[in-house]
Chain A
Amino acid sequence: MSQSKLSAYKKPAGLLPMNIMKPSMQTSELMSALVDGQLGGENFAAALQACRHDESAIASWNTYHLIGDVLRSSGFGVRGADSAFVSRLNQRLAQETLLGAVPRSVDPDWAAPAKGIGASEPTHRRDPASNDANFRWRLVAGVASLAAVSAIAWNASGLLVTTSAPQLAQTPAPQQLVVASPQGPMVRDARLEELLAAHKQLGGTSALQESSGFLRNATFETPQNAGR
C-alpha cells in the first residue's frame, strides 16, 4: 500500500487506542483486521474512515474478500469486481437501503464489496461462515496443500523419466513395457530391447543390408514406452 497516502491521512488524535493498533499502522493491516472482524468500536470507525478517504483501503478490502471467497468456494471461478462499477452500485444501494447490508450470498461474483462500505452502519458483525478468524489458517492450509501436491508431482516426475535407447554397455533394470502387436498387447522388457538392438546391429547379414537394411535400422528405433 502506498506510503504517501498513509502520510496524507491524518489520524484524529486519541481516536485509536494504543493497546490495539499503532497509529503508524499500514492501511492494509487495518483493512485486514477489519475483514477479520477484529476491530471494534473506535478502531472500526477509524477503519471506515480510512475506507472513505483511501482508495487503496478499498482495494485491500476487495482483495481480502476475494481471497476468502476463493478459499471457501473451492474451484469456483471468482473474478475481481470492476471497482468503478462497484462504486456506482454502492451509491445506488446507499440510496435504496438505509440499514442492513445486501446479503452476501446473493452473488459471490461481486466479492461483496457492497457490504460495510455504507457508513451508516454503526455496528458491523459478520456471519461466522463468511469471514471468521480461520481466514489466515485457511490461507496457510492452502499454501501447505499446494506445497504437498507439488512435492508429490516432483517425485512422480522423477519416476517417469524415460530410459534411454538400449545400449550395449548398460543393463537397465527389467521394466515391463506393453506394446501393440498382431497378437494383441505384448509385454516387452528393456533387456529385450537391448537384444533387439544387438540383432539389428550384427544380424543384418543380408543382401539388402547395404542397399537399405542399414538405413532402415538407423532410422527405426523401437518405441520405448509404448503403452497402446
Chain B
Amino acid sequence: MNFKLFRLAVFAMWGLLATNYVAAQVSSAVKASALPTTEATAGEPRSINDWLMRMHEASRSRAYVGTFVVSSGGAMSSAKIWHVCEGNQQVERVETLTGAPRSIFRHNDQVVTFMPDQKVVRSEKRESLGLFPELLQSTDSRIADFYSVRREGAERVAGVEADVIVLLPKDNMRFGYRVWTEQKKGLVVKLQTLDTDGKVLEQAAFSELQLDAPVKMDKLIQMMGKVEGYRVERPVLVKTTASAEGWILKAPVAGFKPVSCYRRPAAAANAVTGEDPLQWVFSDGLASVSIFVESFDRLRHDKEASLSLGATQTITRQLDAYWLTVMGEVPMTTLRLFASGLEHKK
C-alpha cells in the first residue's frame, strides 16, 4: 500500500515538473520569436541601434518647449527651445540666453541663424542633419561594433521620468555617453560625454521641459523669414573629395569612416593666403573628427599645440607646406593617430 502511494506521489511530482518545464520552454520560445521592436518587452534588453533609433524618432514626433543648459569645460550656456513636428516636417527655434543673443531656427535641414548684435542672418543647409537613419541602416552599422549599451536605471530629469543608459566604447579611442531618455517615447532629456576614465567632460540637459506644448509650426516658419534690417549671408561650401584634393589617410583609424569633405569659403581678408581651408570630416557614428588643412603661414602658425575644451580636443601641427588642425570629440591619442596618418600626394 505504501509503495503504491509513493509511486503515485512520484508520478504527480514528475508530472508537475514536466509541465512546468514545458511551460517555461514555451514562454521563452514565445519571447525569443518576438520581432525586436522599439517597445521593450519585459526583461528583453534593447540593442544599441534600438535605443538610438528610438531617441531619433522621439525627437521627430514630440512637440515641446523647454530650457536647455550646456556645461562644457567650465563654461555654461543655456537657451530656450521650441520644437514642433508635423509629419515629416520639423521646426525648431533656439533662443540663446547666455552670451551674445542668437536666434537659431531649423526647418528640417535648413538652418537660419539671426545675430541681432551684428544685424546679420546666416542661412545654410546642414547636410549632417538628414543623415542619421541611413547611417544606422547601412550594412556596415559600425556603431554596435565599437560601442555597447547598458541600462543603468531610472531617474527624474526636468520633471519627466527617464531611463539612464550608458553607451560605452569598446576601445580607448573614443568617448562614452550617458543618456537620459524620457520613458514614454525616448526623447533625450540629458546627455553626458564621458572620457576614458568615466569622468564627465560635458553635459547638456533640459532644466525644464514641457512636453506636447502647443507650438505653432507656421508661426515659427514665419519668424524664420523675417530678415528685414538684416544682412543675409549664405555661406557657400564647395563639396569635394579628399582624394580630389590630394589627401589620403594612409592608416585608417578604427571605426572612423570619412563622411564628407568641403572647401570652406575664402574670406576677403583671407585672399592673401590664397587657398581656402579644406575640411575633411570623419565619423564613427557617435563621434566626429574634422581635419582642417590650410597652407602654412609662418606668421600665424607659430606653435604646435594640443588644446582641450570640454569634450572637444584639438591638435595643431605642421605637415610640410601645410598646417593641420585636427579637432573632434575623441581622446587626444585618436587625434594624434589622425594627424600622423595624413598624407599629401600630388
Partner-B contacts on A (CB < 8 A): 164-165, 167-171, 174, 179-183, 186-188, 191-192, 195-196, 198-199, 201-212, 214-216, 218-223, 226, 228
Contact = CB atoms under 8 A, between A and B. Distances in A.
Interface residues of B, number: 81
B158 to A, nearest CB: 13
A16 to B, nearest CB: 65
Given A191-B300, A216-B70, A171 B204 contact: no
Given A204-B128, A216-B204, A179 B191 contact: no
B283 A199 contact: no
A216 B115 CA distance: 18
Contacts of A179: 73, 309
A168 B235 CA distance: 7
B102 A199 contact: no
B191 A212 contact: yes
Given A192-B314, A219-B77, A164 B94 contact: no
A214 B118 CA distance: 23
B188 A211 contact: yes
A206 B283 contact: yes
Nearest to B266: A171
A192 B96 CA distance: 22
Nearest to B323: A191
B129 A219 contact: no
**Which 3 A-B residue pairings sit nearest by Cβ, starting from the closest?**
A219-B79, A220-B70, A199-B290
A170 B233 CA distance: 11
B309 A164 contact: no
A164 B118 contact: yes
Contact of A218 (B79, B120, B270, B285): B79
A204 B329 CA distance: 10
A218 B264 CA distance: 20
A202 B281 contact: yes
A16 B76 CA distance: 76
Interface stretch (B7-15, B29-37, B51-59, B243-251): B51-59
Contacts of B260: 202, 205
Contacts of B277: 195
A186 B74 CA distance: 13
A212 B58 CA distance: 11
A170 B286 CA distance: 30
A143 B38 CA distance: 77
Contacts of B124: 201
A205 B94 contact: no
Contacts of B259: 205
A181 B305 CA distance: 13
Contacts of A180: 73-74
Interface stretch (B16-24, B130-138, B216-224): B130-138
B106 interface: yes
B79 A212 contact: no
A207 B305 contact: no
Nearest to B51: A207
A207 B143 contact: yes
B177 interface: yes
B79 A205 contact: no
A198 B264 contact: yes
Contacts of B60: 210
Nearest to A222: B309
A192 B312 CA distance: 12
B279 A169 contact: no
Given A201-B124, A208-B177, 10 more contacts: A164-B100, A186-B307, A195-B277, A196-B312, A203-B288, A205-B281, A206-B283, A207-B285, A218-B104, A219-B69
Contacts of B179: 208
Contacts of B164: none
A209 B122 contact: no
B55 A171 contact: no
B43 interface: no
B55 A170 contact: no
A215 B68 contact: yes
A211 B187 CA distance: 7
Given A164-B117, A199-B290, A220 B128 contact: no
B191 A216 contact: yes
23 contacts: A165-B100, A165-B115, A167-B120, A168-B122, A181-B308, A181-B309, A188-B309, A192-B314, A198-B290, A199-B290, A202-B127, A202-B237, A206-B128, A207-B136, A207-B286, A208-B55, A211-B59, A211-B188, A214-B92, A215-B68, A219-B68, A219-B94, A219-B98
A220 B283 contact: no
Contacts of A174: 300
B55 A203 contact: no
A141 B163 CA distance: 72
A169 B269 CA distance: 9
Interface string B286-297: 111110100000
Given A165-B115, A174-B300, A192-B307, A203 B74 contact: no
B265 interface: yes
A164 B233 CA distance: 15
Nearest to B280: A203
Contacts of B68: 215-216, 219
Interface string B182-199: 000001100100000000
Contact of B94 (A170, A191, A215): A215
